[in-house]
Structure 1
Amino acid sequence: MQQVQAQTFHYLYLETEGGQPFYVRMQQKTYSSAASGYLLIPRLSAGKQVMTIGFPGDARPREYAIMLQHDAGYMLRKTNSGNWALTDLADPLKM
């Protein structure tokens, strides 16, 4: 008897504090957020995910890496220094 294993996919939810629109480049695809600053990326494999996040009119997109083990959500927050930080919605102390 042959055993079949299904690949499990996860989704990634991203939003910006203040609802600023943004885009994400990941796995040779570009995703644009809603005008209100949120984005849902479906069908991602478990493991390390590297993404580039940028904002319209900003020439400096930033690269982020996360370990995706389950469905996850992150908030993009502007720091006191003016940079964007990615915060895990399930565990705000974890970056």
Structure 2
Amino acid sequence: MENKSVCLTWFADGEPASEMFWLRNDKGIVSGGQFNIANENKRSTMTLNSVTSEESGNYSIFVRNVTVSVYKHGEKPPRTMQWRCKKGGKEGVLVLLH
């Protein structure tokens, strides 16, 4: 993965509007240099350019002011709340926030 770019995106919706902060090893990441963070319309995207082994770590996002919906296994959320991703040819529902 050396010298490639990594792009992580998180969606959140809440009232009032959610604030989203990216973390690396539990410390805040500031946009600039190799890190580009874009927050727009219920979405936050962090892009890490020219990845090297020095950027390895635990990346996470802190979201404030959101309501989380929890559904039982097998229970379907309203269609408008489903966010899908494909991995290895399989499709799955991601964490639902509204």
TM-score of the pair, normalised by structure 2? 0.40
Q: TM-score, normalised by structure 1?
A: 0.41
Higher gyration radius (CA): 2
